[in-house]
Chains A and B, each alone.
Chain A
Amino acid sequence: MSTHASRAAARLMISPSVILLFLWMAVPLGMTLWFSFQRYNLLMPGQTGFVGFQNYEYFLTDPAFFTALWNTLFLVGGVLLITIIGGMLLALLLDQAIFGQGIVRVLVIAPFFVMPTVSALVWKNFFFNPVSGIFAYIANFFGFPAYDFLAQAPLLSITLIVAWQWLPFATLILLTALQSLDSEQLEAAEMDGASIFSRFIYIMVPHLSRAATVVILIQTIFLLSTFAEILVTTNGGPGNASTTLTYLVYVQSLLQFDVGGGAAGGIVAVILANIVAIFLMRMIGKNLET
């Protein structure tokens, strides 16, 4: 299977898909790079041309930029924190033999099947709404004033919504990891005098760390591009309290019609995502060894 001819044939055969994949990635990236150096505003069709790094300058000096950067980090970090910790606890619970285990597991996975716009609207109208939401009702029942989540803690509210969506994913991965833990290891630890808490810290958590890194990697990729939840709940507001980088790029290019500025923002987001990716790959590379 590895004569010169067969290897050449193999290369020839896979080349169309490789070329297609490469173009699929390279053309949009190249066009974005190209636009990011152009003056290209849909409101001023006549004024086009090369402007150097001006688009970047505007984007990076926009007061909203650093807010958006921190908001993005808060959103990603918050969701990861909630899903990893919550996922571990839920996985521990679901690992117990209980009546109706199958149904409970399906119910836990359910949020993952709800599309982001829908789940965000459900949360906005059924739960967070200060007049008709269930949280407002509970608060009123105990005599407290209703709390307007999306107005007073917009970023935290969105973090909660997104975490709710991703919790099942984390739970599922961590649950399968937990089930692959050798029960003799836990028994050995029990014989060695480890309390339930010590067994969790010294045996289960290290065992789960590999699955957790996979969860972190996959979730980070998707969380950096969170958009629908913001659009349907707060529109990035109030002010820019819940504007993330992704949303800022959207505002720049589609609300202010500044394609050049939006492209520059996109490139900045790509660079930041790559920085995050480098850190993640280092961490994961360490964790996936042995």
Chain B
Amino acid sequence: MGQIELKGVTKSFGDVQVIPPLDLHIGEGEFVVFVGPSGCGKSTLLRLIAGLEDVSGGHIEIDGKDATDLPPAKRSLAMVFQSYALYPHMSVRKNIAFPLKMAKADQATIDAKIENAARILNLSDYLHRRPGQLSGGQRQRVAIGRAIVREPAAFLFDEPLSNLDAALRVNMRLEISELHQKLKTTMVYVTHDQVEAMTMADKIVVLHAGVIEQVGSPLELYRSPRNKFVAGFIGSPKMNFVEGAEAAKHNAHTIGIRPEHINVSATEGAWKGTVGVSEHLGSDTFLHVDTEFGLINVRGGGEIDLHAGDDVWLSPDLSQLHKFDAAGLAI
């Protein structure tokens, strides 16, 4: 259980259409990540699926049944909010028990499910505490616990890690991925962070201004982006784009080359430039090189010994070159 099908779904706020007709299939047990810059409509799309917003047109099917007009509680979906939305006056136990209590489950079932959820999420020692006495990561786990006990058809996550610090974010990312492997439930995850998308997703949906730019596995998107937007959004550091004569040599309006697909040499190569900033991370070196085509980012090995002001030659790996036409579509 846990298939979600969007058919021609649109959403308008007043006269402004934020989501033009959109079709999407989310398969059972998939970990789907909606990713895109802020304001691209990814959270709105999630809220449409959750039922917290009404669709302006189209249909939403959950497990083959039309759920377009069902209230949120009847869609058997559970959501984890960005602010966690824990009930501050209730203990952790009561927070997790709340959906079961609302569903009028009997006390024995409630206790068993809470114990189970607490065990999975390492919350057993905190059940009597209030959310105010917990750390960010623990609150996050309580919010997930509240979602787990309902045994939903799918989990919806709305930027759940954006309130955590960097180290904790990496941890929770791992925990959510592990949770997905353990529960094998469909998960829909919204984020603006392409690293989260790449690391967690089975399937990434790249959104831009309410439109789906591309759907595919992380590596598909990385290897063969359908257009310039996806090419620039997926991958870190960002892909370099070069236009004009250099692109015309390759019969394209724009060519794109990822920083990791450029060879650096101090003596010879295709493009000449000057190092602007070099960031030595130990394992990698990021070079910001000023060339005649503008700023080119290069990712080299950790042992590169180049510093600001040094002359450098760059040679792109032609087999990894991405070509785009004037409309920005991949050729």
Please give the residue numbers on chain A whose beta carbons come within 8 Å of chain B beta carbons, in ascending order. Answer: 182, 184-185, 187-195, 198, 202-203, 206-207, 209, 290
Contact = CB atoms under 8 A, between A and B. Distances in A.
Given A184-B81, A184-B82, A207-B89, A189 B98 contact: yes
Contact of B81 (A187, A194, A195, A209): A187
Contact of B77 (A182, A191, A198): A191
Given A182-B85, A202-B87, A191 B79 contact: yes
25 contacts: A184-B81, A184-B85, A185-B85, A187-B85, A188-B79, A188-B81, A188-B87, A188-B146, A190-B71, A191-B72, A191-B73, A191-B79, A192-B73, A192-B146, A192-B150, A193-B73, A193-B99, A193-B103, A194-B73, A194-B98, A194-B102, A195-B102, A206-B90, A209-B89, A290-B132
Nearest to B73: A193
A190 B130 CA distance: 21
A202 B86 CA distance: 12
Nearest to B99: A192
A184 B72 contact: no
B67 to A, nearest CB: 13
Contacts of A209: 89
A190 B87 contact: no
B52 interface: yes
A191 B50 contact: yes
B231 to A, nearest CB: 34
B239 interface: no
Given A184-B81, A191-B79, A194-B102, 8 more contacts: A184-B82, A185-B85, A191-B73, A191-B78, A192-B99, A192-B150, A195-B102, A202-B98
A191 B78 CA distance: 7
Interface in B297-315: none
A203 B79 CA distance: 17
A190 B73 contact: yes
A290 B98 CA distance: 21
A192 B145 CA distance: 12
Chain A contact surface mostly: helix
B138 interface: no
Chain B contact-residue range equals 20 to 34
Given A193-B99, A194-B102, A188 B73 contact: no
Contacts of A182: 83, 85
A188 B82 CA distance: 11
Interface of B: 50, 52, 71-73, 77-79, 81-83, 85-90, 98-99, 102-103, 130, 132, 146, 150
A203 B87 CA distance: 7
Q: Which of B72, B130, B146 has the most CB of A within 10 A?
A: B72
Nearest to B98: A192
Contacts of A192: 73, 98-99, 102, 146, 150
Nearest to A187: B52
A290 B87 CA distance: 13
A290 B132 CA distance: 8
A-B pairs with lowest CB-CB distance, top 4: A188-B85, A193-B73, A192-B99, A184-B85
A184 B52 CA distance: 10
Contacts of A187: 52, 72, 79, 81, 85
B115 to A, nearest CB: 19
Contacts of A193: 73, 99, 102-103
Contacts of A290: 88, 130, 132
Contacts of A207: 88-89
A280 to B, nearest CB: 20
Contacts of B103: 193
A290 B89 CA distance: 9
B102 A198 contact: yes
A283 to B, nearest CB: 16
A180 to B, nearest CB: 12
Contacts of B88: 207, 290
Nearest to B47: A187
Contacts of B150: 192
Q: Which of A185, A187, A188, A203 has the most CB of B within 10 A?
A: A188
Q: Which of A189, A206, A209 has the most CB of B within 10 A?
A: A189
A2 B286 CA distance: 52
Given A190-B52, A191-B50, A191-B79, A185 B102 contact: no
A90 B171 CA distance: 46
B314 to A, nearest CB: 48
Contacts of A189: 87, 98, 102
Contacts of A185: 85-87
